[in-house]
Each structure stands twice: as C-alpha cells, then as structure tokens.
Amino acid sequence: MHLSKKCSFFKVVLVALLIVALLQLFYLSFLSKFHGKQQRYRYSELFGGTGKKNAHTEKNSRKEHMRYSLSTGGMFDSSGQYRVYRNLIKSDFTSNQALGSEGRSNVLTLCTHTTINNLYHLESLVQRWQNPLSVAIFAHGQDVKFATALVYALSFFCPQIQALVDFHLVCLSGEYASFPEHDREHLSGLEDCASVFSRLETHRDKYKNYAIHGNVSYPNNLLRNVARSGTEASYVLVIDVDMAPSTDLHPQFLAMIARRPPAGDEVFVLPAFEIRHVRKLPASKPELVQLYQVGEVRPFYEELCPRCQAPTNYSQWVNNHARDAGPLDVAYTLAWVDPWEPFYIGPSAVPLYDEAFKQYGFNRISQACELHVAGYRFSVLTSAFVVHRGFKVQGEFHAKKDEENKHNRVLFRNFKAALKTKYLSSNRHC
Ligand SMILES: *[C@@H]1O[C@H](CO)[C@@H](O)[C@H](O)[C@H]1NC(C)=O
Ligand SMILES: *[C@@H]1O[C@H](CO)[C@@H](O)[C@H](O)[C@H]1NC(C)=O
C-alpha cells in the first residue's frame, strides 16, 4: 500500500510534467503563428487589395495611382529608345497641390536622377533638403521590377518621402514596369523605412552599376528633363543624387527672392565642392571653409577637370566672409566662360538639357552654354553651396569613359552649331 501510494505520486508528477511540456509547445506554436500573421499582415497592408483599416484609404489611393500610372505603359522619349513613367508616385505635397487645397505653393523643387544602385543616397538628401523633390530613376532588365517594388515601399514606409518625393521611372523602350502585386521576393521582410534603405544598400553592394559598366547607356540628360518636367515649381535646382546642398537652402532662397525679386534672365550659382569619402557633410559655409582649408574639401572635379568649375572663382567665394552671417544674397555676378558647368537654381523656363548626351562628357556643359547664348547671367550666392560625396579621382571611372567623351565632343560641336540658328539674334556664342 505504501508502495502503490509512491507509484501514484510519481504518476502525478509525470502527468504534471507532460502538461507543462504540452503547454510550452502550444505556446511556441502560437508565437510563431502570430509572428507569421504579423508578417502576412504587413505584406497585405502593402499590396493586398482590401485593407480592413480605413486609415489606409489614403495609402490605397497612392497604390491605385501607381497601378494606373503603370497600366498606361508610360510614354516613349523623343528618341523612342526609352519608356518614361512620369509621376509613378506623387508626394502628398504634389497631390495636395493638384487638388488646389490650401497647401504651400511650390516655389523651389530639387530635381535629381539616379540608377537604383545609387537610390540609397536619397535618405540623406531628403533629410538635408526637407522640401519637395522630383526624382527620376533609370532601371533596366531585372531591376525594373526591383525598382518599382522598392519605390513603392519607400513611399509606403518613409513618411518624409511620402510627403515630399515625386518618383519617375525610365527604362528601355522594350521593357515594361508592372505593379509589384505578388512580388514577395523583393518585398518580404520590409517592415519600416530603415529596412527599405538597407535593402537598397544590399542591392548596391551586390550588383555593379550596370548602367555605367554594361552596354546600356545611362541617359542622364533625359532623366534630368524628366525630373524637371515632373514639377510645377517656379524654380528648380538640378543636382546629382550623391550631392547635397547646404542646410536651409530652401527657406533662405525663398526669403532672398522675396526681398530681392530676381531678373528673368538670372540663375543662382551654388559653388560646387567634393569631400573626402569618410567625412560628414558640412552643413554651413563656416564648416565647409574649415574643411576646405585643411584639404578635406576641394572644388568639385578639381583633379579631373579643374577648369570646369574654376570660373566660379573659389578663392573669391571662400574669402568673402563679410556677408556670410547675414541672409542669403548674391555675392557677385559672372558671365559664362568655356568650359564652366556650374550647378545653379534657375527659373523653370531655363532651356532643357539636350537628351542626345548620355553617359560621360558634355552633358551639363552643353546646357550651361545654351543658357549663356540665350542671354542668362550667373549670380553666385554668398553662403549656399553643394557638396559631392567623395573625391572624384582618375582611374575610378569605367573603361569606356574616354570613348564616350570623344563621342560626346562631336555631339557638342554639332550642338553649338545648332545654337547659332536657334538663337539668331544672340550675339553670344560658346
Ligand atoms: C547588352 O549585351 C547583351 C549581351 O551581349 C545583349 O544580350 C543585350 O541585348 C545588350 N543590350 C543592349 C541594350 O544593347
Ligand atoms: C577671382 O576674384 C578675384 C577678386 O575679385 C579676382 O582678383 C580674380 O582675378 C578672380 N579670379 C578669376 C579666375 O576670375
């Protein structure tokens, strides 16, 4: 009897242990199911048709807009070689303007262009600029799908991008972009803005910049024009995606033109610099000048084409401290000289870029030269600037650079000849 009592005691302990183990298992399976549900929820929130949540109707309308814009098949560029999806995604800023609601009026938009491999720069560019941007992306082959999915994810997860960035997509005319409906490959695991940017960085590290290394030409001037025509701002600043303007440029510029209405034939030059890769980008002119004096910052393209920026007159600009502390203003006004290719804020009416120029060489200078012939003058701003991330050095460029440059030199000669007939009454030439 004593024995059987002991036995039943063991039984009870065993059963209790079993129950605990079962509960544990049940709990674990519940947890993993719950996690899976969360993942699925994220995914269906992104791409499923019928979100239960009313709060997402706005996001659904963005999705519908994108679906529609893709279903149109875009438009060919004038050469017929490229397919352009304009306003694939509209920012809240642009959408509100279209509705004519009491949004801010659009005075100055930053326009830029990039391959999908360099799109990760957008994160810091948006942070620095904090105002409307118009971004033209070139993708081809497999990347068309990736670009479409990631652009959508960016505008879905990143509030600042949602608020400010209009996206345009350009691919080869034989290619189509489509809505990333069931594209789990590219979209699974994305759950917030940071995860989208880290996906972009992983992509950059994994793939070479085909547009430069491959046999597909990067249509930089077409992209610049697409970004420019994608905004209704009265003024545009066109820069490359791996550059950044000085902080507060947008409000300072608006204050300046309110105080000092610009002439119609005036553009505002931002002296261009490049900074050693590891360095943090300077925010203000005093910060920039400090780095300049110790050689951590230097004129843009100083090693490869010093003459291309020298007309900006860096020594005059750097040493002109007198008005740096005051409100933004014009420091001095210059006439264009060959081969100056300044970055500038200009009225939306400045001539477009010639889309025949692709890849390396003469793509911006041809436009600066046209500005000159068309009668524009170049006013250099007192304390605003742009900085390029990294020193441009000989040897980092792709093998075909010199060949492209030679090809574009011929285009440039023809371009200059054509300007003579386009501006018959102008006594300027370049
Ligand atoms: C690039 O080269 C590959 C392989 O030679 C070829 O299949 C492809 O059609 C080329 N693309 C273009 C746009 O010429
Ligand atoms: C730059 O400006 C200074 C001061 O006005 C002038 O003396 C100098 O000649 C200018 N340099 C160039 C390259 O224009």
CB of 316 closer than 6 angstroms to any ligand 2 atom: yes
Q: How far is it between the farthest Cα atoms of the chain?
A: 122
Which of 199, 216, 241 is where one domain is finished?
241
Which residues, in sequence order, are bridge partners of residue 421?
none
What was the pLDDT predicted at 156? 93
Report yes or no on 18 lying in a domain: no
**Strands ordered across the beta sheet of 297-299:** 243-245, 386-389, 272-275, 297-299
The per-residue pLDDT for 48 is 55
State the pLDDT confidence band at 204, using cuts at 50, 70 and 90. Answer: confident
Whether 70 and 211 map to the same domain: the answer is yes
State how far Cα 166 lies from the chain centre. 10
User: DSSP per residue over 182-238, as a string?
Assistant: T-HHHHTT--SHHHHHHHHHHHHHHS--HHHHSSS---HHHHHHHHHHT---SEEEE
CA distance 281 to 244: 8
The tally of domains found in the chain comes to 2
44 lines ligand 2 (CB under 6 A): no
Q: Which helix (DSSP H) or strand (DSSP E) does residue 314 occupy?
A: helix 314-319
In a domain, residue 41? The reply is yes
Nearest alpha carbon, ligand 1 atom 7: 215
Q: Which carries the bigger pLDDT value, residue 61 or residue 9?
A: 61
The residues facing 332 across adjacent strands are 380
Q: Is residue 38 located within the same domain as residue 76? A: yes
Question: Ligand 1 centre and the CA of 80: distance in Å?
Answer: 17
Residues 197, 76 share a domain: yes
Question: How many other CB atoms are found less than 10 A from the CB of residue 360?
Answer: 19
Residue 17 counted as domain residue:
no
pLDDT of residue 147: 95
Find the ligand nearest to 140 CA.
1
**Domain co-membership, 209 together with 332:** no
Query: Based on the domain organization, do 215 and 252 belong to the same domain?
Result: no
| 40 or 196: which leads in pLDDT | 196
- Backbone dihedral angles phi then psi of residue 184, each to the nearest 5 degrees: -65, -30
Can you tell me the mean pLDDT for 393-412?
79
Q: What is the mean pLDDT of residues 165-192?
A: 90
273 C-beta neighbours (distance < 10 Å), count? 24
Residues 276, 187 share a domain = no
Q: Is the domain of 272 the same as that of 217?
A: no
Q: What is the pLDDT of residue 51?
A: 41
Other Cβ atoms less than 10 A from the Cβ of 396: the count is 10
In this prediction, residue 182 carries a pLDDT of 74
* HSE (side-chain half, CA atoms, 13 Å) at 120: 14
Question: What is the residue with the minimal CA distance to atom 6 of ligand 1?
Answer: 215
Residue 161 has a pLDDT of 97
Distance CA 209, CA 359 (A): 12
| Ligand nearest, relative to CA of residue 215 | 1
Q: Ligand 1, atom 8: nearest CA belongs to which residue?
A: 215
Lowest mean pLDDT among 34-43, 74-83, 295-304, 336-345: 34-43
Please report, to the nearest 10 degrees, the dihedral formed by the alpha carbons of residues 170, 412, 109, 262 taken in order. Answer: -160
Mean pLDDT throughout 105-112? 95
CA 98 to ligand 2 center in whole angstroms = 46
Q: pLDDT at position 209, please?
A: 55
Asked which of 60-74, 117-131, 295-309, 414-428 is least confident by mean pLDDT, the reply is: 60-74
As a whole number of angstroms, the distance between CA 339 and CA 416 comes to 13
**How sure is the predictor about 312, in pLDDT bands with cuts at 50, 70 and 90?**
very high
Among 210, 241, 272, the domain-final residue is: 241
Residue 256 has phi, psi (to 5 degrees) of: -65, -45
Least confident of 17-26, 27-36, 416-425: 27-36
- The answer on 116 and 171 residing in a single domain is yes
Enter the tokens of residue 219. Answer: 């249509």
Both 233 and 262 in a single domain? no
341, two tokens? 């290719």
* Domain membership flag for residue 24: no
- pLDDT of residue 297 exceeding 90: yes
| Secondary element (H or E) of residue 308 | helix 306-309
Which residues span the domain enclosing 217? 34-241
Most confident of 40-49, 88-97, 203-212, 243-252: 243-252
The ligand whose atoms approach the alpha carbon of 214 most closely is: 1
With a 6 Å cutoff on the Cβ, whether 215 touches ligand 1 is: yes
The C-alpha torsion from 77 through 134 and 110 to 99, rounded to 10°, is 120
Q: What's the length of the chain? A: 430
pLDDT of residue 187: 85
* pLDDT value for 54: 45
Spatial CA neighbour of 282 closest among 381, 380, 386, 382? 386
- Same domain as 337, residue 202: no
Q: What is the pLDDT of residues 48-104, one digit of tens each?
A: 544 444 445 666 788 888 999 999 999 999 999 999 999 999 999 999 887 766 567
DSSP 319-341: H--TTTSSS--EEEEE---TT--
Confidence at residue 99, expressed as pLDDT on a 0 to 100 scale: 75
Cross-strand pairs, 172: 82
Q: With pLDDT > 90 as the criterion, what percentage of the chain qualifies?
A: 65
Q: Is 72 in the pocket of ligand 1 (CB under 6 A)?
A: no
- The residue among 111 and 47 whose pLDDT is bigger is 111
Q: Are residues 82 and 200 in the same domain?
A: yes
| Res. 212: pLDDT tops 90 | no
pLDDT in tens, 378-401: 999 999 999 999 998 876 666 677
299 touches 315 (CB < 8 A): no
Q: Determine the residue type at 80.
A: G
User: Model confidence over 110-167: pLDDT tens digits?
Assistant: 999 999 999 999 999 999 999 999 999 999 988 999 999 999 999 999 999 999 999 9
Are 278 and 309 in a shared domain?
yes
pTM: 0.86
Question: Would the CB of 320 count as within 6 Å of ligand 2?
Answer: no
List the one residue out of 85, 357, 422 whose CA is nearest residue 221: 357
The distance in angstroms from the start CA to the end CA of the chain is: 115
Q: Tell me, yes or no, whether 22 lies in a domain.
A: no
CB of 175 within 6 A of ligand 1: the answer is: no
Q: Give domain status of residue 15, yes or no.
A: no
Q: Of 241, 272, 296, which residue constitutes the final position of a domain?
A: 241
Q: What is the pLDDT of residue 50?
A: 43
- H/E stretch holding 167 reads strand 165-172
Q: Mean pLDDT, the chain, as a whole number?
A: 88
